[in-house]
Amino acid sequence: MSELTIGLILPDVLGTYGDNGNALVLRGRARKRGIDTEVVTIKLGEPVPTNLDLYCVGGGEDTAQILAAKHLTEHRGLIEAANLGRPIFAICAGLQVLGESFRADGRIVDGVGLIDATTSSLGKRTIGELISTPAGIPELTDTLTGFENHMGATILGPDAAPLGRVIRGVGNCDAHGATADGSAEADGQVGAEGVVQGSIIATYMHGPALARNPQLADLLLARAMGVELSSLEPLDIPEVEQLRKERLR
């Protein structure tokens, strides 16, 4: 077994907009530092092992994410991994699926219940660049950049904090979505992006997010290895800097 194992969870149903690339970015950044790393792919119908160091869950279409929610609830591996404090990184439909409930294919579906959040619908689909200032994790200081394409309006409960505050784009929800479920706590929900809860980091950023946000990638690697982010040797990859500059322009 490799020194570091990264689970790519259900890429056959949750892997839109290149989200599978997050696992590849993590593997690439670890290998550049001489850490023997492998990606373990878990497909629909296969049990999720609890002993991986880090888990990546991507985005997907409505029907696909309903299948994912059912699978991840029935096979308890990801839930157990979260209970063990293993880092989990989830994108868009992945974020919604890990919540308490979400709306898909015109109905409300039970989520896995790892994130204190419910997802209803935005006033209209949001598609475009999503930029935010990190908020929920002190070590994260670099502006977050990604691409969003979703209909979900996610309201966070008291156990979940936003990953960032939106500078451009929508993120978790718009004003319509914030009040759709009659939530009296709409304040602060509009303009929130993503979720931080225990060992889980989730976001609406596709991109893949970790190609655009190397500091976030390294934070996940550091957590997976049980070390401080500041202890990771910096990587000088000019293409990544160039990509960030272009997307943030």
Of 12, 38, 46, 62, the residue at the interface with ligand GLN (CB under 6 A) is 62
Question: Per rule CB under 6 A, is residue 92 in the interface with ligand GLN?
Answer: yes
Of 4, 10, 16, 66, the residue at the interface with ligand GLN (CB under 6 A) is 16
C-alpha 45/C-alpha 180 separation (Å) is: 34
Smallest gap from Cβ 95 to ligand GLN, in A, equals 8
Question: Per rule CB under 6 A, is residue 115 in the interface with ligand GLN?
Answer: no
Question: Per rule CB under 6 A, is residue 61 in the interface with ligand GLN?
Answer: yes
- Token representation of residue 74: 């029935």
3-class SS of residue 17: helix
Of 59, 87, 136, 164, the residue at the interface with ligand GLN (CB under 6 A) is 59
- Amino acid letter, 169: G
Residue with tokens 């004003």: 175
CB of 221 closer than 8 Å to CB of 24? no
Smallest gap from Cβ 39 to ligand GLN, in A, equals 20
CB of 37 closer than 8 Å to CB of 221? no
Residue with tokens 């929130």: 192
For the purposes of burial, counting CB atoms within 10 Å of the CB of 36, is it exposed (0-12), middle (13-18) or buried (19 or more)?
A: exposed
Question: Per rule CB under 6 A, is residue 20 in the interface with ligand GLN?
Answer: no
Beta strands 88-91; 54-57: pairing state: parallel
Q: Using CB under 6 A, which residues numbered 63 to 82 contact ligand GLN?
A: 65
Question: Per rule CB under 6 A, is residue 139 in the interface with ligand GLN?
Answer: no
Positions marked active-site: 92, 206
Annotated binding site for substrate: 125
List contacts with ligand GLN (CB under 6 A): 16, 59-62, 65, 92-93, 104, 149-152
